[in-house]
Amino acid sequence: DWLKRFKAALAFCPRLFGNSQPVLLYTWLADAMPELMEMGHKEHVHADAMPCYQTSWLCVFEAVSPYMWSYMGIAFALGISVIGAAWGIFLTGSSIVGGGIKAPRISSKNLVSIIFCEAVAIYGVIMAIIMSNKIEGSLIFEVSGKLEPWQAQTMVSGWCLFAVGLSVGFSNLFCGVCVGVSGSGCALADAQRPEMFVKMLIVEIFGSALGLFGVIVGIIQANGATFPKHLG
């Protein structure tokens, strides 16, 4: 028994410290150890009896329905992509309108920058459709005690689609800003020197590819989300 060994070790303390205060402290610990252990056991049992969300913040996230996570992922994928597209169109469009006053010829050529920005929103729409087709509903999703295999699979699928929404949404957001800023510079440069248009267009093409990378990775991620079908 480890408690007897602990007391035996404390009995050896006077040889090391003499009759000093540490010996009294060690003796008190030896006598109080059973009570401390009992109190710790009661707290542990009490913690087990409490609801999960009262003991850990992580349990709060686990308590959210996986279908809620899935639809939040769809909202992020579409909403943040549209924000990126709108931001890019705002930056590019204002420069085209402003530069077109002095050089009206740039208005038609530089509309390609607007198309690149609009493609960012289209990426979000495509991913939202793919993610929506992944979701399969169940009659009731209630977790009590041990998880069933289909429940664990549903939870993982919900988190997976939420991660897809974040990766696609933010990649399209920064892609839209990138294309918008480069398109704005392209319009202003084209107004001054027409030979700069093709060179700046290449920059826009590479900037637009950033959102495409996010869509490709999002499709690969979404393949890991498999919701159980026809649950009774």
Dist CA 124 CA 175 (whole Å): 12
pLDDT tens digits, one per residue of 161-218: 999 999 999 999 999 999 999 999 889 888 888 888 888 888 888 988 889 999 999 9
Dist CA 38 CA 79 (whole Å): 54
pLDDT at 17: 47
pLDDT at 220: 92
pLDDT at 45: 46
pLDDT at 38: 59
Containing 101, the helix (H) or strand (E) segment is helix 66-102
CB 66 within 8 A of CB 155: yes
CB 143 within 8 A of CB 151: yes
The whole model's pTM is what?
0.70
pLDDT at 32: 54
Name the residue among 126, 101, 150 with its Cα closest to residue 211: 126
Low-confidence stretches of the chain (pLDDT < 50) are 1, 15-17, 20-21, 23-25, 43, 45, 47
